[in-house]
Structure 1
Amino acid sequence: MTALGARGVPVAGSLEPGAPVLDLQAVTKVYGEGDTAVHALRGLTLSVERGDYVAIMGASGSGKSTLMNIIGCLDVPSDGRYRLDGLDVGGLDERRLSILRNRKLGFIFQSFNLIPRMTALANVELPLAYGGVKKDERRRRALAALAEVGLSDRLGHEPNELSGGQQQRVAVARALVTAPTLLLADEPTGALDSRSTAEVLAIFDRLSLSGRTLVVITHEAEVAAHAKRIIRLVDGRIADDRRESAVAAPPPRLAWTREGAR
């Protein structure tokens, strides 16, 4: 039975101390039936420990987007088991999955996914509002998150008043503000120029040094080179899984913790 708080919210921290943040066992995903069936994932087993920084690479059709959707609780496996921070998500209904996504996962997308007519500050506060956090606390944590990504001087700017790199940094702040167990980034630099890419990757480096768990889906070798571990998918299977030397980065300066997010 899933352990939940009084409001149906998954309890803070891992349900199994020492459990991996991600634990996928023999996960398959099949779209369609019979002769038209597409096997996107083929018995994939993957474990990601707390504090790891993983890049998942693969050509188009390799299964990396499907894997991201399953890790992010946006889709469910056809078979196999998925545990997030020690919690078996297989039996959760959509309401509880939504709560789990809000509390445990921070999403960063290629297209930023900011609300157009909301300021940077309001965009970052949004997940906290959904989570029922009071206004003063929302404001404090959103300001800290925007300061961490270097945007304290852009609080009142709407997305169309920001560069692409600044929009992505707002998206990173929004992902961080709930102090999630896992940061999940899908092609986070795909729409950025080289300077903005370097800025976002430097933030990821600092987050990794501070002990955050990151999984980045990317086809760019430059992005993957910042990770501690690179996994390559081919035809829905892991073809290569190896450790890399971490890229040097500035010391961490994060202003909030999971304890402060409760």
Structure 2
Amino acid sequence: MSTARAPLAPRRPPVIDVRGVERVYHVTNEVEVRALAGVSLRIGRGESVAIMGSSGSGKSTLMHILGCLDTPTAGRYLLDGVDVRDIAEDDLADLRGRKIGFVFQAFNLVPRTSALLNVELPLAYAGLGRAERRRRATDALRAVGMGRRLDHPPSELSGGQQQRVAVARAIVTNPSLVLADEPTGNLDSQSTAAVLAIFEELNAEGRTVVLITHEDHVAARARRIVRLGDGLVVEDTGPVAAPA
């Protein structure tokens, strides 16, 4: 007696699928800078990846493209299987707000505004009501150990605490992808360890985490390291997550 086999579930596309991406900046009519010279890279769901490279290697340009803050001069970038070239600008802004959380080296917090209100900002842009914004922002700050600093402005917080607030703001929309550009560059060693531990917790929860860094000890906390040089991937080491 034969039994019918259940159909295989379709394989989900990688979160990030970069195909031969180039980015050229025209400084003048005669001078151009080729920041990316043909990068191809796939990052699956739930991966923890560090992208490394010296100054001028193209890592920050790549991060801006992955975050849909910039567009390639040539090549394709598929986010969750969708070519970003096919997405209208208004829809792209909405997609960034829903799917991607950004953390930057300079924190980018609004001065003279409480930690709570800083974290609420993405939710306000998304149109959520005040009570829901307050609840979700409070939960996000508690998740990064800042539950007792809700009413403090950035000027009353240490660098490490400000970066925790920035991380809370990045995750308050519950994004599946977190992009962090040199997130520990302005922090001391103790604060660096604390912030990296938060990224590890986010990854353990199933989020895809991509760190841009030039520091070996930061990259070592990721499960996969991608090195850039002269606008190209020159090394890709570490385990790659199995397709979800």
Q: TM-score, normalised by structure 1?
A: 0.84
Q: Does residue 25 in structure 1 map to residue 30 in structure 2?
A: no
Shift of 1:244: 6.1
Task: For 2:213, give the aligned amino acid.
Answer: T
Larger Rg: 2
Q: Secondary structure at the match of 2:95?
A: helix
Q: How far apart in 1 are the matches of 2:101 and 2:11?
A: 21
Secondary structure of the equivalent of 1:154? coil
* 1:89 aligns to 2:84 (yes or no): yes
Q: Say whether the 8 Å CA contact 1:225–1:244 is kept in structure 2.
A: no
1:227 maps to which of 211, 218, 222:
222
- Provide TM-score, normalisation by structure 2: 0.90
Q: State the 1:87 CA deviation.
A: 2.0
Distance in 2 separating the partners of 1:21 and 1:122: 30
Larger deviation: 92-101 or 176-185? 92-101
Correspondence 1:24-103 to 2 at 5 A: 24-32=18-26, 36-103=31-98
After the TM superposition, which parts of structure 1 deviate over 6 Å for at least 4 consecutive aligned residues? none
User: How far is the alpha carbon of 1:95 from its aligned partner?
Assistant: 2.1
Report the alpha carbon displacement of residue 42 of structure 1 after superposing the two structures with TM.
1.2
SS of the aligned residue for 1:123 comes to: helix
How do residues 158-177 of structure 1 correspond to structure 2 at under 5 angstroms?
158-177=153-172
Q: Kindly indicate whether residue 123 of structure 2 is the aligned counterpart of residue 107 of structure 1.
A: no
Q: 3-state SS of the aligned residue for 1:230?
A: strand
User: What is the rounded CA distance, in whole Å, between the counterparts of 1:38 and 1:164 in structure 2?
Assistant: 34
Amino acid at match of 1:81: R
Q: In structure 2, do the counterparts of structure 1 residues 221 and 108 end up closer, same or farther at CA, with 3 Å as the change threshold?
A: same
SS of the aligned residue for 1:127 comes to: helix
Q: How many corresponding residue pairs? A: 230
Q: Which amino acid aligns with 1:27?
A: V
CA distance in 2, matches of 1:123, 1:80: 36
Cα-Cα RMSD: 1.6
In 2: Cα distance, 1:72 partner to 1:210 partner? 21
Q: Percent identity?
A: 60
Q: Which amino acid aligns with 2:17?
A: D
Unaligned runs of 5+ in 2: 1-9
Q: Deviations over 1:159-209 (max 9, x none)?
A: 001011000000000000001121000000000011110110111111112
State the alpha-carbon separation in 1 of the partners of residues 29 and 131 from structure 2.
55
> Which amino acid letter does the alignment assign opposite residue 241 of structure 1?
D
Task: Give structure 1 stretches of 5+ with no counterpart.
Answer: 1-15, 246-262
CA displacement at 1:92 relative to structure 2: 2.9
Give 1:137-152 correspondences, 5 Å limit.
137-152=132-147
